[in-house]
Amino acid sequence: MNMADNEKPAGDHWIWLFLIVLGVILISSRGGGLFGGSGIRFGSPSREGTVEEELRPAPSPAPSPPPAGGPAPLPTPVTPISPSQLNLLSFGSARLELEREHIQISAPTLNKTKVVITGLILKNRNNEALEVGRDEFGSAIFLNPGERAVIATGESPRGFNFKVNKCSGYLAQNKTYYPELPFSCPRLDELGQFKNLKEKCQIFVERIAYCTSPTINFSSGIDDVCSQFVAEHANYTGCVKDFKNDANFDQKEWRIFLGREREFWSNRHDSVRLFDQSGNLISEVSY
């Protein structure tokens, strides 16, 4: 047999291979072929700019974070305030500079319930208005029967409104308050640890003035144990920690600051009007 007769043209093999590959592509493009549903795609690994990328639905936007928690709402409904439930005094507003300008509201001892004063509105004769704010924790301020609120026009030396307590005198060491804070803090010799101190330390402690954090140095003549005792207890933070559970710790007075940078009440003649949270007039005094 002539071997030349058995040889077939090499180009026939490429033609058949081309036809097979073309058939596979056509079947796969219809989703029912060898690669249907397999996730395999022909083309660039990157999907940017491909038809598939352009037809894919846009992703849903990320949900917005919940709004930041605001201050706690006032009691609902706020009990209407009658004129007999709050007394208004303006003696602190006449002819006083900003740092001393203040008014006072008080709850008579005959009141049957507490009175919420956060949200009360103060207006002067020019109809300018200021609102009573909240305490340092963002809670509503209220007056129990027999309590009062000194409402200063300016900024708070502490940066917030607060209720006076039996340790508040320590706050006046480096800050000025008007009216002055009570200067009658508990004494360190009232603490149980006092009796365990050496006699020299006890004498030193007994000489410390009320509501004062003494300077301790070599000339103080006390040992390290005594120094540590004084440093831990003779200050506002230590006093609060030691006496916060006393039944009479909270005093019957709030210090509230309206945060103004200039005077609000006229130095000569003005009308001080107090409105409740719904805009109803509670009381009015003039000077």
Residue range 237-262, pLDDT digits in tens: 999 999 999 999 999 999 999 999 99
Question: Cβ neighbours of residue 8 under 8 Å, at least 6 residues apart?
Answer: none
Do 269 and 238 reside in the same domain of the chain? no
CB atoms closer than 10 angstroms to residue 72: 12
Do 230 and 265 reside in the same domain of the chain? no
Do 212 and 111 reside in the same domain of the chain? no
Cα–Cα dist 131/120, whole Å: 6
Question: Does the residue 198 lie in any domain?
Answer: yes
Instruction: Give the per-residue pLDDT at 17.
Output: 66
Question: Does the residue 107 lie in any domain?
Answer: yes
Residues of the chain with pLDDT below 70 are 1-72, 74-78, 91-95
Question: Does the residue 40 lie in any domain?
Answer: no
> In terms of residue numbers, what domain contains 207?
187-246
Return the CATH number at 115. Answer: 2.60.40.1260
Instruction: Give the per-residue pLDDT at 80.
Output: 80
- The CA–CA distances, whole Å, from 26 to 23, 31, 40 equal 5, 9, 14
Cα–Cα dist 134/225, whole Å: 41
Instruction: Give the per-residue pLDDT at 77.
Output: 52
* Nearest by Cα to 274 from 144, 92, 145, 124: 124
Instruction: Give the per-residue pLDDT at 217.
Output: 87
Q: How many domains does the chain have?
A: 2
Do 159 and 255 reside in the same domain of the chain? yes
Do 229 and 255 reside in the same domain of the chain? no
- The CA–CA distances, whole Å, from 179 to 138, 168, 183, 254 equal 24, 13, 12, 12
Do 260 and 133 reside in the same domain of the chain? yes
Question: Does the residue 2 lie in any domain?
Answer: no
Cα–Cα dist 148/140, whole Å: 15
pTM for this model (two decimals):
0.71
Do 218 and 119 reside in the same domain of the chain? no
Residue range 115-162, pLDDT digits in tens: 999 999 999 999 999 999 999 999 999 999 999 999 999 999 999 999
Do 212 and 287 reside in the same domain of the chain? no
Token pair belonging to 230: 């004084």
Do 82 and 224 reside in the same domain of the chain? no
